[in-house]
Amino acid sequence: MYTDIVMDHFMNPRNVGEIENADGIGEVGNIKCGDIMRIYIKVENDVIEDIKFKTFGCGSAIAASSVATEIIMGMTVEDALKVTNKQVIDALGGLPPVKIHCSVLAEQALKAAIYDYATKNNLEFEGLKGYNPVEDHDHHDVVDIEF
């Protein structure tokens, strides 16, 4: 049911933890399954120099956040905003259909972290145009969760 890559990232997740004094933090949760994901980013000269995550959720959500951090590390903020859950799924070698929403959580947590960074620094990014955390969360069945 799960690829070896999914199992590897679930058993040995990369970039787990918190970043002290993170430049942006994104928290999202899925109402239906109750899983929660938090992503921390450190940005320097528009490049995501460090990214860490904490996921209280299923194995697919942990694998998706782990592989997403690998994809995003070292990217410019603008490029990171173009990363989709489809890329996350491809990097995992696929996910079962019922687990697709777990990868959406990773995409949304990243976007929320960048939105937080942009808001704190008064920055505008092309990829955030039209992004409204509340509205987007409604569309994707995602809500803000306080830990």
Q: Which of 5, 33, 47, 145 is catalytic?
A: 33
Task: Provide the CB-side half-sphere exposure for 19 (13 A, CA).
Answer: 21
Q: Identify whether 102 is a catalytic site residue.
A: yes
Binding residues for ligand FES restricted to 72-111, rule: CB under 6 A: 99, 101-102, 105
61 binds ligand FES (CB under 6 A): yes
Rounded to an integer, what distance in angstroms lies between the CA atom of residue 61 and that of residue 65? 6
Rounded to an integer, what distance in angstroms lies between the CA atom of residue 56 and that of residue 77? 25
30 binds ligand FES (CB under 6 A): yes
Rounded to an integer, what distance in angstroms lies between the CA atom of residue 109 and that of residue 104? 9
H or E segment and range at residue 114: helix 100-121
Q: Identify whether 33 is a catalytic site residue.
A: yes
Stretch that binds ligand FES, among 52-60, 89-97, 116-124, 125-133 (CB under 6 A): 52-60
Strand order in the sheet with 142-143: 47-56, 36-44, 24-30, 142-143
Quick one: 59 or 127, whose CB is closer to ligand FES?
59
**Shortest distance, CB of residue 97 to ligand FES, whole angstroms?**
12
* Footprint of ligand FES (CB under 6 A): 30, 33, 35, 57-58, 60-61, 99, 101-102, 105
